[in-house]
A and B are shown apart, each in its own frame.
Chain A
Amino acid sequence: MDIYLLEAVINGILLGGVLALLALGLNLIFGVIDVVWIAYADLVMCGMYVIFWLYADLGWPLPLACLAAIIGVAALGVLVHLLIIAPILGSAPINQLLATGGLLFFLQNFATLLFGTDFRNIGVRLPIIEVGDIYVSSARLLAFAMALVGAVALWLFLRRTYIGTAIRAIAQDRDIVGLMGVDQRHVYLVTSAIGGALAGLAACLLALQYDVHPFVGNTFGPLIFMICVLGGLGDMIGGFVAAFIISQIISIGGYYASTELSYVLAFTLFIVLMFIRPRGILVR
C-alpha cells in the first residue's frame, strides 16, 4: 500500500475524532432541546481565544488554561440557553435558527472587537512522531485520543447517571418526563452545559493544531452541520460514524487531488446521500 495514502487515511481518522466530538455535542443539544445551535462552531472559537488569552497572554500553564476553556464554554452554553433559547423555546424553528444565527454574528464580531482579525497561535509545537516511514503529528494524535475520552465520558454519563437517563428520555418523549419527577428546565441547563463543555474540549484540541481568528468557526462549522445531517439530526451514533466518513473523504481526497476539491467531493457525496438516505445514514 502506498505509504502516503496510509498517512492520509491515518490523518483522516485523527481529524474525524474532533469532528465526531463536535457532532456529538450538536446532536445532543438538538435531540434534547430540539434547537440547532447555529453558532456552535463559534463557541469553539471562544474557547480557543480563552486558551490563547490565558496561556499566551497571561502565562497560565496550558492544562489549566484548557480546563478554564472547558468550564468557560460550558458556562457560555448555559448562558446561551438562558438568554437566547429559553425565551423562544415554544416559537417556530425558523425563529430559533435566526436567534442562534444572530449569536454567530455577535460572537464573531465581539471577538474581532476584542482581539482584532489577526491569526493568532498559542505557539505550542508538539513533536512529529515517526513510525516506520509514516509521520504522524502528535498534536493530532493527542486530539484524537482526547476526543475519544470525551465521547466515552459522555456515553458513560448518559448511561450511568439519573440525569443522563433523563436526558435520553426527554429526547424520546418530552411531554411526559415531568411525570417522572424530572424538571425539564433543569435537564435543558445540564444539556447546554455539556454541549458547551464538549465545544470547550474541542477548542483545546484545535488550539494545538490551528491558528485562532474570529472566523475560525466558519472553517469547520458547516462541516459539523453536514456531518450531523448525514448521520441523522439527533442521532448521536449516526453523527459519530458520519464524522469519520467525511474526514476520510477530505483526507484521502486531499491526497489524490487538493484539499479544496476534497471539500467539493464531501459536499457532493452529502447531497447524493441526502437523496438516498434523507433521514440519516444509519436509519433503516
Chain B
Amino acid sequence: MSARLALDAVSAGYGSFRALFDVSLEVAQGQAVGVIGPNGAGKTTLMRVISGLLPLRGGAMTLDGRAVGGLAAHRMVEQGIAHVPENRRLFPRLTVEDNLRIGAFIPQARKHFAGQLARVYELFPRLKERRDQAAGTLSGGEQQMCAIGRALMSRPKILLMDEPSAGLAPLVVAQVFELVRRIRAEGLTVLIVEQNVQQVLDVVDRAYLLEVGSIRLAGSAAELKGNDFIRKSYMGL
C-alpha cells in the first residue's frame, strides 16, 4: 500500500502548549480516512498542521513519498493539499464564483479553471444557480458545498475536511455526508475530521481515534464501529 499522505510522529502546539504528541497516520490513495475524537483532542490542530497553517514542531510528513513537513500553507496547496476549514470560512462578500475562482489561485490550477469549474458545478448544481450571489447569503448546506467546491478548484491530491457537519441542521448534516460519499466515489483521497462519529464511520474506509493529542485507536471503519470503547464513549450505545 503506497501512502498518499503519511505523518510520522508529528507533534505541534501553540506557544508553550503542546496539542499533538507523536501522531502517526497514513492515508492511502483513493481512500477516505476519518479522525474522530472529543472536543479539544487536537483534531483541528492536526488539520492545521497538515495544511501548513501551523508549523510542525517535530516528526515528518510526506505526500506521495515527498517530504512536505514545515512548508507554508500556500506552498502546501501547490503540493496538492486542499483544506476545507472548520466553519467553512467562505469569503462572504465575494460571489460564489469568485470564491471558486480564488480556489484556483495556484498557477497549475488556473490553467484548468474552466474545466474544473464545470466539474464543480456538475457536482453541486446549486452553486451554479447561485454563482453570482454573495457567498455570505447562502444557506449552511450551500456554504459547505461552496467551501468544498473552492477546495476542489485547486485540483488537490488530498482533500482535508474539518468538521464539515458542524453547525448544520440534522437534515443538512445527512446531505453533507452524502456529499462526502460522492466526492470519495469520484476517486479523491479524503481525510475528514468529525465529531459525528456514527455518520463519519459510515462514509470512511479507515479511521483514527485522537484523544488529548495522541492516536488512541486505529482501524477499519467496521472495526471501530464494533469497538466497545468507541461504541460506549462516542456512539452512546
Binding site for B on A (CB under 8 A): 162, 165-166, 168-169, 172-173, 175-184
Contacts and interface: CB of A to CB of B under 8 A. Distances in A.
Contact of A166 (B52, B77, B85, B105): B105
Given A162-B110, A165-B94, A173-B89, A178 B102 contact: no
A184 B73 CA distance: 10
A160 B98 CA distance: 10
Nearest to A169: B91
Given A176-B89, A179-B83, A181-B154, A169 B102 contact: yes
B51 interface: yes
B123 interface: no
B92 A180 contact: no
B142 interface: no
B74 A183 contact: yes
Given A162-B110, A165-B98, A168-B98, A180 B93 contact: no
Interface residues of B, number: 28
A89 to B, nearest CB: 15
A182 B102 contact: yes
24 contacts: A162-B104, A162-B110, A165-B105, A168-B94, A168-B98, A169-B94, A172-B92, A172-B93, A172-B94, A178-B52, A178-B53, A178-B73, A178-B77, A179-B51, A179-B53, A179-B82, A179-B151, A180-B105, A181-B74, A181-B77, A181-B78, A181-B105, A182-B74, A182-B105
A182 B94 CA distance: 16
A183 B51 CA distance: 14
Contacts of B83: 179
B181 interface: no
Contacts of B168: none
Contacts of A166: 102, 105
Contacts of A177: 102
Taking each of A175, A180, A183, which has the highest tally of chain B beta carbons within 10 Å of its own beta carbon?
A180
Contacts of B77: 178-181
A30 to B, nearest CB: 16
Contacts of A162: 101-102, 104-105, 110
B106 interface: yes
A284 B85 CA distance: 30
Given A165-B102, A178-B77, A180-B102, 5 more contacts: A162-B101, A169-B102, A179-B53, A181-B77, A181-B106
A112 B190 CA distance: 62
Contacts of A168: 91, 93-94, 98
B103 interface: yes
B157 interface: no
B72 interface: yes
Nearest to A168: B94
Contacts of B93: 168, 172
B109 interface: yes
Interface in B72-127: 72-74, 77-78, 82-83, 85, 89, 91-94, 98, 101-106, 109-110
A279 B94 CA distance: 21
A-B complex: 4 closest residue pairs judged by Cβ atoms = A178-B73, A181-B77, A181-B106, A169-B91
Nearest to B83: A179
